[in-house]
Chains A and B, each alone.
Chain A
């Protein structure tokens, strides 16, 4: 199946126009809104990347911040040694290697092993990095002084998000994406169809981790100072899971629907209730898990009138509709 047909060119063209328009945002708004836009963009990449793997496979990854933090730390270590583009490549490589290690050790087993492994991974990586900083470099915390402005960060994130959406779009129309949907529906069936289930899961996990790592690397110059506690804050993994679930992780643009309202909500909560942030976040999350198990998209699909399809009678439904 060719990617470039009239059917696929239209959404790609619309997307290109929207992203081109968004690129002019810095000349329209002030610094406060720019920093909000950066938050939205970074969470948009993280939540979409998370959903790319966890949506179809239903393997809940609780380790988003591991890859994000690894990206940020790579920049902190290598930032002043080489040009930023090269640093991004290095960050991507490190993230890929670690994702491969995690994938190979857990993804051939049942999903719960993967969840448990990722659950503790943040703690492991944070303690190992702390240990390394204390015993080898003898300095806790690093400074990131790079000649990168807020607008640069915004444009980089925007570009990354565009690449991610394009990747997801192509994936959804490729053999790999089709195989992934079958795995999500029924793994046993997928195996019987001759799909190498483990390899596909690992490939997707690595791809999703790569985008998370790059987000961390791009965001690093924003902090100027990082230490293991800042870079590997488990709250971030939690926020990404909430956003993706609110939006609906089984559609490409689903997570975005969760990212925008929740980033604004986090902004309000951190400003007004800094000490109770974790409690409120937990409550918001519970509401989503109990009341919106399929996200906003799931709600929309449940109540919209049935769509008339004239030319594709055998079109597969990719979203899960509750019985």
Chain B
């Protein structure tokens, strides 16, 4: 039972880490605090559900459609909705407030559309639901596949950020947008690219999660919340921090769900968040001031 709880915590934590990496990119590079982020995760889950149940396309193949589509969608969101706010903001604080408000509105629009189409029920679909033996615990194969993909995509993402030209540009903008301009980095393009890439990560997370968890239209807020907590806990903009924090959150949640009560998982999330705020608000690997 313990090894099962830990393993399912690790799969869950891997998803949180993946989703949080996208959010830390959006917040760290584009400086957009995106409260509608979790809604995009859920939208991807529903798209995967439709592809699987009506067209018979399995979610792994579905990723080939969903990743470019979500990248394009987030690109458009940034260009149309957020560029005016970026242009209007006099400083980082104002952009933060404006983006919080705008994405808060977006959250209700997306949630409203999902509710009209799907209602408030819980959804799930059957994909690779056979058990596999891992260290004496029976684990559903779909969890293993999801975890595998999370590792591969997370690693690929990390390599893009650290080893490529565009990745270096993104990191430079994250450190200082004004100076990045001086070394001929197109900051507007980099912000837009980071936002779209972050949104694509959210979609990947949504598809992978939908393979082994039930989901509903109102779960977006919880995903946003958990991603935000992981981002803060790991330190804004810190990929390794997001990974460690995601795993901690996932395992803690899974242990509480197994040994205490499944109804209290959000409470443990908040306890962890509170501890981070009280002890080290800059995050596990964050520097104390920026």
A residues engaging B (CB < 8 A)?
58, 60, 62, 105-106, 109, 111-113, 115-117, 119-120, 123-124, 127-128, 130-131, 134-135, 234-235, 238, 241, 245, 275-283, 285-286, 289-290, 293, 323
Majority SS at the chain B contact face: helix
Known: A127-B263, A234-B221. A117 touches B108 (CB 8 A): no
CB-based contact B277/A113 at 8 Å:
yes
Q: 4 shortest A-B CB distances, which residue pairs?
A: A278-B112, A282-B109, A279-B112, A120-B225
In the bound complex, how far is the Cα of B200 from the Cα of A92, in angstroms?
45
In the bound complex, how far is the Cα of B119 from the Cα of A188, in angstroms?
48
Can you spell out 15 A-B residue pairs with CB atoms less than 8 angstroms apart? A105-B277, A111-B93, A111-B96, A113-B232, A113-B281, A116-B225, A120-B228, A127-B267, A131-B261, A134-B263, A276-B112, A278-B115, A282-B109, A286-B106, A323-B90
Known: A117-B277, A282-B109, A285-B105. A293 touches B266 (CB 8 A): no
Q: Mark B228-244, 1 if CB is under 8 A from A, else 0.
A: 11001000000000000
In the bound complex, how far is the Cα of B113 from the Cα of A279, in angstroms?
7
Residue of B nearest to A242 (CB): B105
CB-based contact B35/A119 at 8 Å:
yes
CB-based contact B97/A109 at 8 Å:
no
Kindly list chain B residues whose C-beta atoms are within 8 Å of the C-beta of A286: 81, 102, 105-106, 109
Residue of A nearest to B219 (CB): A123
**In the complex, B273 has a CB within 8 A of chain A:** yes
In the bound complex, how far is the Cα of B106 from the Cα of A128, in angstroms?
27
Residue of A nearest to B81 (CB): A286
In the bound complex, how far is the Cα of B33 from the Cα of A128, in angstroms?
27
**In the complex, B224 has a CB within 8 A of chain A:** yes
Known: A123-B225, A130-B263. A276 touches B116 (CB 8 A): yes
Q: Name which of A58, A109, A119 has the most chain B CB atoms within 10 A of its CB.
A: A119
Checking A117, A238, A279 against B273 with a beta-carbon cut-off of 8 angstroms, the contacting residue is A117
Kindly list chain B residues whose C-beta atoms are within 8 Å of the C-beta of A235: 108
In the bound complex, how far is the Cα of B108 from the Cα of A158, in angstroms?
31
Checking B104, B222, B228 against A123 with a beta-carbon cut-off of 8 angstroms, the contacting residue is B222
CB-based contact B104/A238 at 8 Å:
yes
CB-based contact B232/A116 at 8 Å:
yes
CB-based contact A105/B274 at 8 Å:
yes
CB-based contact B221/A120 at 8 Å:
yes
Kindly list chain B residues whose C-beta atoms are within 8 Å of the C-beta of A238: 104, 108
